[in-house]
Homo-oligomer: A and B are copies of this chain.
Amino acid sequence: MAAVDLTTHPGHLARRLQQAHYLLWNTMVSEEITSPQFAVLNALVAEPGLDQRTVGERVGLDRSTIAEVISRLSRRDLLDKVRDPQDGRRFLLRLTDEGLRTHRRLSVRTARMNQVFLAPLSVEERTLFLDLIRRVSDAAEGLRHPAEPLAAQP
C-alpha cells in the first residue's frame, strides 16, 4: 500500500535513461573513453587552452570531478596540462595529437550511436525530446544559482 509508481517520476527515468546511454556508449563508441571524457576532449577542440575550471563549466562537471577526468586523460597522454605563466593558480589544457585523433575517431561513432539511441522516436519527436530535456535541466540548474536568494522551504 502507498507505494509510488516510479515510471511517473522524472528523476527515476533520468537515471534509467543515463544507464541506457552508458550501455550503448560502451558497446557502440568506446570501452576506453567515457562519455564525460569525450565531452572534455570536445570542449578543448572547440577552445584549446582553457583552464580546468572553465572546461568543467562547459561540460557540466564540478571542480572535483573535472580534476579526476582530466587526470585520467592526461595519464593517457590525450592532453597536456601546463601552468599558466600569467596566473600561477591555473592549469592550461591542450589536446595532444593523440587526443585530437581520438576525438575525431569517436565523433563519428557517437553520431552513429545517437541515431540508434533516438531510433524509437520520429524525427519531430527527437528534436522535441532534446528540447524538453534541455528546458527541464536548464531550469533546475537555474535554481542552483538563484538571481535573487530564495527563501528556503521548511
Interface residues of A (CB under 8 A from B): 1-4, 6-21, 23-25, 27-28, 35-36, 39, 42-43, 45-46, 59-60, 103-104, 107, 110, 113-114, 116-121, 125, 128-130, 132-141, 143-144, 153
Residues of B contacting A136 in the complex (Cβ-Cβ under 8 angstroms): 17, 20, 117-118, 120-121, 129
Residues of B contacting A23 in the complex (Cβ-Cβ under 8 angstroms): 140-141, 143-144
**Secondary structure of the A contact surface, majority rule:** helix
Residues of B contacting A140 in the complex (Cβ-Cβ under 8 angstroms): 20-21, 23-24, 117
Task: Among A45, A46, A59, A120, find the residue whose CB has the most chain B CB atoms closer than 10 A.
Answer: A120
Residues of B contacting A117 in the complex (Cβ-Cβ under 8 angstroms): 10-11, 136, 140
